Amino acid sequence: MALSRGMVLFFLLLLVAAEIGTIDAKKKSKFAKKTAKSLTKDKEEEKKEEEEKNHCLSQSHHFKGFCLSSDTCAEVCQKEGFHGGECKLHNAMRKCFCKKPC
Protein backbone atom coordinates (compact mmCIF):
# COMPACT_ATOMS: atom_id res chain seq x y z
CA MET A 1 0.00 0.00 0.00
CA ALA A 2 1.66 3.14 -1.18
CA LEU A 3 0.85 6.49 0.35
CA SER A 4 0.91 9.61 -1.72
CA ARG A 5 3.21 12.48 -0.84
CA GLY A 6 0.18 14.51 0.12
CA MET A 7 -0.94 11.90 2.66
CA VAL A 8 2.55 11.60 4.16
CA LEU A 9 2.78 15.38 4.42
CA PHE A 10 -0.68 15.53 6.00
CA PHE A 11 0.23 12.95 8.68
CA LEU A 12 3.54 14.67 9.33
CA LEU A 13 1.81 18.02 9.85
CA LEU A 14 -0.78 16.36 12.07
CA LEU A 15 1.98 14.83 14.19
CA VAL A 16 3.81 18.17 14.48
CA ALA A 17 0.60 19.97 15.45
CA ALA A 18 -0.13 17.40 18.15
CA GLU A 19 3.41 17.72 19.51
CA ILE A 20 3.17 21.52 19.60
CA GLY A 21 -0.09 21.25 21.51
CA THR A 22 1.57 18.97 24.06
CA ILE A 23 4.51 21.35 24.53
CA ASP A 24 2.16 24.33 24.86
CA ALA A 25 0.05 22.50 27.44
CA LYS A 26 3.17 21.69 29.49
CA LYS A 27 4.25 25.34 29.46
CA LYS A 28 0.80 26.45 30.62
CA SER A 29 0.87 23.86 33.38
CA LYS A 30 4.30 25.04 34.62
CA PHE A 31 3.16 28.66 34.47
CA ALA A 32 0.02 27.85 36.47
CA LYS A 33 2.08 26.02 39.13
CA LYS A 34 4.55 28.91 39.42
CA THR A 35 1.70 31.42 39.69
CA ALA A 36 -0.02 29.36 42.40
CA LYS A 37 3.24 29.06 44.38
CA SER A 38 3.83 32.79 44.03
CA LEU A 39 0.34 33.63 45.32
CA THR A 40 0.71 31.23 48.24
CA LYS A 41 4.10 32.70 49.12
CA ASP A 42 2.70 36.25 48.96
CA LYS A 43 -0.14 35.31 51.33
CA GLU A 44 2.31 33.69 53.75
CA GLU A 45 4.53 36.79 53.70
CA GLU A 46 1.51 39.05 54.31
CA LYS A 47 0.41 36.87 57.23
CA LYS A 48 3.91 36.94 58.74
CA GLU A 49 4.14 40.73 58.34
CA GLU A 50 0.72 41.12 59.99
CA GLU A 51 1.83 38.96 62.93
CA GLU A 52 5.02 41.00 63.29
CA LYS A 53 3.00 44.23 63.36
CA ASN A 54 1.01 42.92 66.33
CA HIS A 55 4.13 41.99 68.34
CA CYS A 56 6.55 44.28 70.10
CA LEU A 57 10.16 43.22 70.64
CA SER A 58 12.23 43.63 73.77
CA GLN A 59 15.82 42.44 74.18
CA SER A 60 16.10 39.53 76.59
CA HIS A 61 17.67 40.29 79.97
CA HIS A 62 18.54 36.67 80.79
CA PHE A 63 19.85 35.33 77.47
CA LYS A 64 23.64 34.96 77.58
CA GLY A 65 26.00 34.88 74.62
CA PHE A 66 25.61 34.99 70.87
CA CYS A 67 22.07 34.07 69.74
CA LEU A 68 22.29 31.16 67.29
CA SER A 69 19.03 29.33 67.97
CA SER A 70 15.65 31.06 67.95
CA ASP A 71 14.23 28.02 69.76
CA THR A 72 16.58 28.54 72.71
CA CYS A 73 15.84 32.26 72.64
CA ALA A 74 12.09 31.56 72.72
CA GLU A 75 12.51 29.26 75.76
CA VAL A 76 14.45 31.93 77.68
CA CYS A 77 11.86 34.57 76.74
CA GLN A 78 9.00 32.35 77.93
CA LYS A 79 10.75 32.02 81.30
CA GLU A 80 10.88 35.83 81.38
CA GLY A 81 7.09 35.94 80.85
CA PHE A 82 6.99 36.70 77.12
CA HIS A 83 5.07 34.82 74.44
CA GLY A 84 8.20 33.84 72.50
CA GLY A 85 11.42 35.14 71.06
CA GLU A 86 13.77 35.08 68.11
CA CYS A 87 17.36 35.84 67.22
CA LYS A 88 17.85 39.09 65.34
CA LEU A 89 20.85 40.99 64.06
CA HIS A 90 21.45 44.11 66.17
CA ASN A 91 24.59 46.26 65.88
CA ALA A 92 26.44 43.51 63.96
CA MET A 93 25.61 40.92 66.66
CA ARG A 94 22.84 38.34 66.85
CA LYS A 95 20.86 38.96 70.00
CA CYS A 96 17.78 37.40 71.55
CA PHE A 97 14.64 39.52 71.33
CA CYS A 98 11.47 38.57 73.18
CA LYS A 99 8.00 39.01 71.67
CA LYS A 100 4.89 40.29 73.38
CA PRO A 101 1.58 41.66 72.09
CA CYS A 102 1.68 45.43 71.64
Model confidence at 86, pLDDT cuts 50, 70, 90, reads very high
Residues whose CB falls within 8 Å of the CB of residue 53, separated by 6 or more in sequence, listed in order: none
Give the strand order in the sheet containing 84-90.
55-59, 93-101, 84-90
Instruction: Answer whether residue 22 shows pLDDT above 70.
Output: no
DSSP string, 50-63: HHHHTEEEEE-SS-
Instruction: Answer whether residue 4 shows pLDDT above 70.
Output: yes
What per-residue confidence (pLDDT) applies to 71?
94
Q: Which CATH class is domain 55-102?
A: alpha beta
- Domain range annotation of the chain: 1-53, 55-102
Task: Tell me the CA end-to-end span of the chain in Å, nearest whole number.
Answer: 85
Comparison of pLDDT for 86 and 23, the residue scoring more:
86
